[in-house]
């Protein structure tokens, strides 16, 4: 038969003792730095007395922890701990997790990600162990939504909640709100219906940041009054890789009264546009947004985008024009299309070659060098490259001929145009 410690897995206390033993931290660094030795007043007889060097941020991820161990030992050495990462372990029992949390009185951050919590019931009395936690990370735990609600109802100081990769396709509303929550990170789930998102508004009335990337959300529904009532404090939203495919959905983002940061990359609506077009159209549609996809929107960029928006819809039928178009026309007036200017460098030019009494029309490549042009001219003027001096005459310039004396210089740098002249003068002996 296997010994109990192998059958039950490793305890939090056991791993704590191993990782933070003096053998791993033989020297104490300066005040406020590195690990600290916890006083052991009143802990006579403790098997860990004077042996642990503990930081205020404990990281015990991937250590095979499945149970708490002796709560008295945890309390003795973790009184000063404020952040705890026990992700990627084998914690399956909320009773064990609550024993750990309740033994750390100053715990503000707790990461339980990648622990198998599916189907694990949470007793309301155990939920009280998380009273002081402000940031709770439950990514890929498969925790039920009912358990999430029980936790939020018993965490009066909770500010940030991470629920990614938990396969939620729907959520149930709670009659008890969590008024302190400011950030909800619920990426990589299966929330397609906007009705599910609306429940967050009533449950978390102080929500400031909503991160919903990779949920394939189909659309943003509800009218201006409902959205403003449900999300009065929402300042930032991330809808990257959602399923939004209508400009009407983008326009509805303007109904969130405090929204100023938006992330909208990888949505079907924008696939047909270039990166520059995407950014211009989004900025013009969202007049109150100051940060788009992580970048600041400057005043000059906004004006350029809004002017681009007007010109983009110049040929659009009146009935299909977006609402924003009319307000921008009121601001800037109806703008004329920009002239199409080809900024690509010219490849060739047709010039007149003069050599003494001889004049010939010649089509020359502008990507070649002066030396290569001289070689081309040898057959025209019957002179070797060492026997000629070459001048360029700009037909539109008031200045005289310019000698092309730098053999390695490219012709396009002289801005040679059709109709200009090349003068070949034999060198005198």
| pLDDT, tens only, 6-61 | 445 899 999 999 988 776 655 444 444 444 444 444 444 334 445 566 899 999 99
Residue ranges and CATH numbers for the domains of the chain are 10-37+47-332 (3.80.10.10), 348-426 (3.10.20.90)
Rounded to an integer, the average pLDDT of 78-84 is: 95
Helix (H) or strand (E) holding 303: helix 299-312
Q: Where are the alpha helices (DSSP H) in 190-246?
A: 194-203, 224-230
- pLDDT, position 4: 37
Contact 73, 50 (CB under 8 A): no
Instruction: Name which residue leads in pLDDT, 211 or 323.
Output: 211
* DSSP SS3 for 141: coil
pLDDT digits (tens, 9 = 90+) for 98-156: 999 999 999 999 999 999 999 899 999 999 999 999 999 999 999 999 999 999 999 99
- pLDDT, position 340: 62
Determine what percent of the chain is predicted with pLDDT higher than 70: 89
- pLDDT, position 142: 97
Mean pLDDT score across all residues of the chain: 89
When pLDDT is cut at 50, 70 and 90, the band that residue 335 belongs to is confident
How far apart, in whole angstroms, are the C-alpha atoms of residue 426 and residue 429?
9
Contact 173, 198 (CB under 8 A): no
Contact 121, 151 (CB under 8 A): no
Contact 267, 243 (CB under 8 A): yes
Contact 349, 420 (CB under 8 A): yes
Is the pLDDT at 343 greater than 80? The verdict is no
- pLDDT, position 392: 94
Rounded to an integer, the average pLDDT of 205-222 is: 96
CA dist 356 → 281, 404, 423 (Å): 60, 18, 9
Is the pLDDT at 254 greater than 70? The verdict is yes
Q: Which residues of 289-315 are buried (b: 16+ CB within 10 A; e: fewer)?
A: beebeeeebeeeebeebbbbbbebbee
- pLDDT, position 131: 95
- pLDDT, position 276: 94
Do the strands 53-54 and 36-37 form a parallel or antiparallel pair, or are they unpaired?
antiparallel
The DSSP letter of residue 369 is B
pLDDT digits (tens, 9 = 90+) for 369-428: 999 999 999 989 999 999 999 999 998 887 889 999 899 999 988 989 999 999 999 988
- pLDDT, position 35: 45
Q: Evaluate if pTM is beyond 0.85.
A: no
Least confidently predicted of 175-184, 200-209, 419-428: 419-428
Q: What residues contact residue 160 under an 8 Å CB cut-off, 6+ apart? A: 134, 135, 136, 181, 182, 183, 185
């Amino acid at each position: 038969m296997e010994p109990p410690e192998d059958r039950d897995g490793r305890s939090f206390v056991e791993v704590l003792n191993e990782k933070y033993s003096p053998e791993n931290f033989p020297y104490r660094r300066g005040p406020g730095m590195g690990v600290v030795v916890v006083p052991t007043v009143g802990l006579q007889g403790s098997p860990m007395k004077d042996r642990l060097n503990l930081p205020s941020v404990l990281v015990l991820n991937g250590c095979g922890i499945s149970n708490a161990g002796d709560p008295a030992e945890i309390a003795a050495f973790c009184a000063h701990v404020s952040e705890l990462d026990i992700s990627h372990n084998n914690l399956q029992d909320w009773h064990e997790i609550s024993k750990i949390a309740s033994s750390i009185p100053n715990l503000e951050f707790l990461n339980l990600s990648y622990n198998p919590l599916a189907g694990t019931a949470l007793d309301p009395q155990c939920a009280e162990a998380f009273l002081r936690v402000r940031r709770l990370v439950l990514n890929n735990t498969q925790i039920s939504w009912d358990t999430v609600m029980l936790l939020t109802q018993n965490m009066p100081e909770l500010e940030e909640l991470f629920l990614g990769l938990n396969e939620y396709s729907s959520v149930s509303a709670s009659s008890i709100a969590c008024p302190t929550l400011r950030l909800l990170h619920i990426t990589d789930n299966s929330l397609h219906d906007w009705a599910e998102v609306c429940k967050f508004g009533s449950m978390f009335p102080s929500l400031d940041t909503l991160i919903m990337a990779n949920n394939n959300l189909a659309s943003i529904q509800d009218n201006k009054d409902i959205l403003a009532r449900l999300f009065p404090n929402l300042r930032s939203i991330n809808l990257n890789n959602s399923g939004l495919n209508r400009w009407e959905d983008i326009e509805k983002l303007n109904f969130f009264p405090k929204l100023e940061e938006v992330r909208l990359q990888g949505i079907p609506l924008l696939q047909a546009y270039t990166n520059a077009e995407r950014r211009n159209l989004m900025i013009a549609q969202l007049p109150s947004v100051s940060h788009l996809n992580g970048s600041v929107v400057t005043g000059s960029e906004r004006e350029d985008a809004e002017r681009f928006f007007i010109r983009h819809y110049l040929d659009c039928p009146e009935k299909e024009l977006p609402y924003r178009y009319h307000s921008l026309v009121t601001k800037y007036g109806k703008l004329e299309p920009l002239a199409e200017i080809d900024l690509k460098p010219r490849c060739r030019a047709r010039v007149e070659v003069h050599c003494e009494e001889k004049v010939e029309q010649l089509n020359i490549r502008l990507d070649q060098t002066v030396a290569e042009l001289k070689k081309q001219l040898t057959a025209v003027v019957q002179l070797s490259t060492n026997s000629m001096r070459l001048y360029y005459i700009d037909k539109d310039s008031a200045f005289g001929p310019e000698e092309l004396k730098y053999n390695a210089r490219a012709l396009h740098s002289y801005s040679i145009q059709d109709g200009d002249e090349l003068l070949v003068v034999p060198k005198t002996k």
